[in-house]
């Protein structure tokens, strides 16, 4: 029998000697190193071209601040079509369904894996897990061919399907594991009460799985928002490109317009950053489970 000495708030031994300052110093050095690149970008996005070529990036207060870069990158007609503002909208159009669909489809499949009985259930699930790690490169050509055949290339529904298909393995993995942890008694007593599987799913399993669904939604959202390759390959029409492709094109034409580029990069970062800061907990949860994401 263990004795709990309450209240336990151990303060531990004092750090001795030189290690007292070593730890904070190293940590701060690393943290600053990590922060500087983004910071530099941020600063550059608020400076005019003239100011940037005159003063170094660390001279934050010289040369004045301006919002022109943001203005230009979002609304200027000179930029490669469709313009960043449209890219932004496209990203939204792409991301939201591409987050919802995988969750829906994965949820019902996960429920089946967790609580329904059918032959080869474990083997098929193992197969799903195997798919988790398949590099997408190996699928591009055939999928593109299918898309072309069904006229899905360059359409929003097409990219929604692609993101859904590619995101399913991870989503099923995450949700099924969570659902399997629901106490068996709940399910069984519902069955005995005569509930159909659909009812059990909607009334019991789904509500209880909300934390996992939330984590998955956030993770998938950020993942799709930041996606480049799928958009490049399956969306080929410029007026539908999301922010990531927009940045790439910007780089192509305006490779040295750093002020413009940094503003553009930041426009693409805003939403994921907000999501991250507001919902850190869920994000991390999705990430740790997603260490295997394809």
Partner 1 sequence: MDGLTKIYEDGTLAVGELDLTIEDGEFLVLVGPSGCGKSTVLRMIAGLEDISGGEMHIGERLVNDMAPKDRDIAMVFQNYALYPHMTVRDNMAFGLKLRKTPKAEINQRVEEAADILEINDFLDRKPKALSGGQRQRVAMGRAIVREPAAFLMDEPLSNLDAKLRVQMRAELERIHGRLETTTVYVTHDQVEAMTLGDRVAVLRAVSAAKPYNLQQVGPPYELFDNPVNLFVAGFIGSPAMNMVYATLERDGEDLWASFADQRLKVDPYAIERHPGLENHTNEELVMGVRPSSMEAAEIAGADPDRAIHMTVEVDENLGAESYVHTTLDARPVVTPDIEELLADTGQTAESLGDSTEFVARISSDIRVQTGQALEVVVDTAKLYFFDPASGDRVGAKATATAAT
Partner 2 sequence: MTATVSEEAAPAPAPAEPKKPKSRVRWRPWLWLAPALFLLSVFLVWPVIRTIWISFHDGSTINPTREFIGVDNYVRMFTDDAAFIHYDLPPWSALFNSALWVVLFTLGVIAFGLLVGVLADKVKYEKTAKAIVFLPLVVSFTAASVVFRLVYSTDPNIGLINAMLGLIGLGPVAFLGEANIVNFAIIGAGIWVWTALAMTILAASYKALPEETHEAASVDGANEWQVFWRVSLPQMKGPIIVVAVTMIINALKAVDLVLIMTTGGPGFSSRIVGFTVYWEIFNNNFAGYGSAVAVVLLIMMAPLMWWQMRQIRAAEAR
Contact segment (CB under 8 A) with partner 1 among 7-15, 100-108, 237-245, 264-272 equals 7-15
Please list every residue from 156 through 185 that binds partner 2, using CB under 8 A: 161-162, 164-166, 168-169, 172, 180, 184
9 binds, among partner 1, partner 2, none (CB under 5 to 8 A by kind): partner 1
Closest CB to partner 1 among residues 22, 36 = 22
Using CB under 8 A as the binding rule, whether residue 291 contacts partner 1 is answered as no
Give CA–CA dist 263/149, Å, rounded: 39
Contact segment (CB under 8 A) with partner 2 among 52-60, 65-73, 77-85, 207-215 equals 52-60
Using CB under 8 A as the binding rule, whether residue 18 contacts partner 1 is answered as no
Residues counted in the chain: 294
Using CB under 8 A as the binding rule, whether residue 92 contacts partner 2 is answered as no
Give CA–CA dist 271/56, Å, rounded: 29
92 binds, among partner 1, partner 2, none (CB under 5 to 8 A by kind): none
Asked if residue 284 lies in contact with residue 211, where contact means CB atoms within 8 angstroms, the answer is no
14 binds, among partner 2, partner 1, none (CB under 5 to 8 A by kind): partner 1
How would you class 14 by CB atoms within 10 Å of its CB: exposed for 0-12, middle for 13-18, buried for 19 or more?
exposed
Closest CB to partner 1 among residues 17, 77 = 17
- Smallest CA-to-CA distance from 234 within 153, 180, 177, 166 is with 153
DSSP 116-144: ---TTHHHHHHHHHHHTT--GGGGHHHHH
Asked if residue 48 lies in contact with residue 66, where contact means CB atoms within 8 angstroms, the answer is yes
5 binds, among partner 2, partner 1, none (CB under 5 to 8 A by kind): partner 1
Provide the minimum distance between the beta carbon of 10 and partner 1 in the complex, in angstroms, as a whole number. Answer: 6
228 binds, among partner 1, partner 2, none (CB under 5 to 8 A by kind): partner 2
Give CA separation, 126 vs 120, 205, 206, in Å: 10, 22, 23
Provide the CA 80 distance to its chain's centre, in angstroms. Answer: 26
131 binds, among partner 1, partner 2, none (CB under 5 to 8 A by kind): partner 2
Closest CB to partner 1 among residues 20, 199 = 20
211 Cβ contact partners less than 8 Å away, ≥ 6 residues apart: 178, 282, 285
Using CB under 8 A as the binding rule, whether residue 65 contacts partner 2 is answered as no
Residues contributing to the site for partner 1 (CB under 8 A)? 1-7, 9-14, 16
């Amino acid at each position: 029998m263990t004795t709990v000495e309450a209240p336990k708030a151990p303060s531990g031994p004092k750090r001795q000697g030189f290690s007292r300052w070593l730890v904070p110093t190293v940590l701060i050095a690393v943290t600053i190193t990590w922060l500087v690149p983004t910071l530099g970008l941020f600063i550059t996005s608020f400076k005019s071209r003239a100011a940037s070529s005159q003063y170094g990036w660390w001279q934050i207060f010289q040369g004045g601040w301006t919002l022109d870069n943001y203005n230009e990158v979002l609304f200027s007609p000179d930029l490669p079509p469709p313009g960043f503002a449209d890219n932004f909208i496209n990203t939204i159009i792409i991301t939201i369904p591409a987050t919802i669909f995988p969750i829906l489809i994965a949820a019902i499949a996960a429920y089946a894996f967790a609580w329904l009985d059918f032959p080869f259930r474990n083997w098929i699930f193992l197969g799903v897990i195997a798919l988790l790690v398949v590099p997408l490169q190996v699928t591009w050509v055939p999928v593109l061919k299918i898309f072309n055949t069904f006229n899905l290339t360059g359409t929003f529904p097409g990219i929604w399907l692609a993101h859904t298909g590619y995101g399913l393995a991870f989503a099923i993995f995450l949700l099924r594991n969570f659902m399997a942890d629901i106490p068996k008694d709940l399910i069984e007593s519902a069955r005995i009460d005569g509930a159909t599987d659909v009812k059990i799913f909607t009334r019991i399993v789904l509500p209880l799985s909300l934390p996992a669904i939330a984590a998955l939604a956030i993770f998938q959202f950020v993942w799709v928002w930041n996606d480049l390759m799928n958009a490049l390959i399956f969306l080929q029409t410029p007026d539908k490109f999301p922010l990531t492709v927009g940045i790439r094109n910007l780089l192509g034409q305006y490779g040295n317009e750093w002020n413009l580029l940094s503003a553009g990069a930041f426009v693409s970062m805003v939403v994921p950053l907000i999501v991250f800061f507001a919902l850190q907990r869920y994000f991390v949860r999705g990430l740790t489970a997603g260490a295997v994401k394809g």
